[in-house]
Structure 1
Amino acid sequence: MVYAVSTDPENADGIAAQTTGALRELESLLDEAGSGKDRILQATVYLADIADKSAMDAIWNLWIGAAKNWPQRACVGVALDTGCLFEIVVTAAVK
């Protein structure tokens, strides 16, 4: 089992850039741990502004791929660290 947390390491401007950066970082973390995005069992997404959910969903859907591979996912609005708009916590299986 792999447990990982990711944010955009550059704290880029905007939810699209931060989601993309965090998912890129997450994919790298999963690969290093012998897993992959196709092995994610559960994900929790934290957004600084829940109004950004639609924009985040569009990027997530492209990144995660075919709907048959979608893990269980929750998305909640929370207070995040200054400048951070997106954080993701996942549990994944090892390949």
Structure 2
Amino acid sequence: MTPPPITRIPAPGTGRSDAVASDGYVYAVATDPECADGIAAQTRNTLHDLDRLLEELGSNRTRLLQATVYLSDIALKPQMDAVWRDWIGAEANWPQRACVGVGLETGYLIEVVVIAQGL
């Protein structure tokens, strides 16, 4: 039996992929490509980039199954959550989600990892 094909969107020059699709699922990670000032702006930019990755691999935010939000400071969660709620929309779109406070690369306040079904 031949394994299902894998489609990858490589991250620029890092030895990893920003997103991978296989067997009807999309796995993606996004950060703010502009590293904007403040958690609200970084969250908006990160989610915009996530939309792009999901679309490129045949999915979208309504197909999210799981999301992990990594924050440089867990105290930023309420501000991030306000942007997230506007982005994710109706309850029918809500994935299982966890938020974790972690050390991120200098300047980055948020990183989002998701699993979604293809369309």
The TM-score with structure 1 as length reference comes to: 0.99
Counterpart among 66, 70, 82 of residue 106 in structure 2 = 82
Larger Rg over CA atoms: 2
Greater helix fraction, Structure 1 or Structure 2? 1
Q: Which residue of 2 aligns with 1:47?
A: 71
1:13-52 superposed Cα distances (whole Å, 9 cap, x missing partner): 0000000000000000000000000001000000001000
Alignment gaps of 5+ in structure 2: 1-24
C-alpha separation in 2, matches of 1:50 and 1:60: 15
Q: Please give the secondary structure, in 1, of the residue aligned with 2:69.
A: strand
Partner residue of 1:14? 38
Q: Could you tell me the percent identity over the aligned residues?
A: 64
Higher relative contact order (CA 8 A, sep 6+): 1
* Aligned residue identity for 1:30: L
Residue 29 in 1 paired to residue 53 in 2?
A: yes
When normalised by structure 2's length, the TM-score is 0.79
Off by >2 Å, runs of 4+ in structure 1: none
Q: For residues 51-77 of structure 1, what are the alpha-carbon distances to aligned partners after superposition, in whole Å with 9 as ceiling and x for unaligned?
A: 000000000000000122200000000
Higher strand share: 2
1: CA distance, partners of 2:52 / 2:77:
23
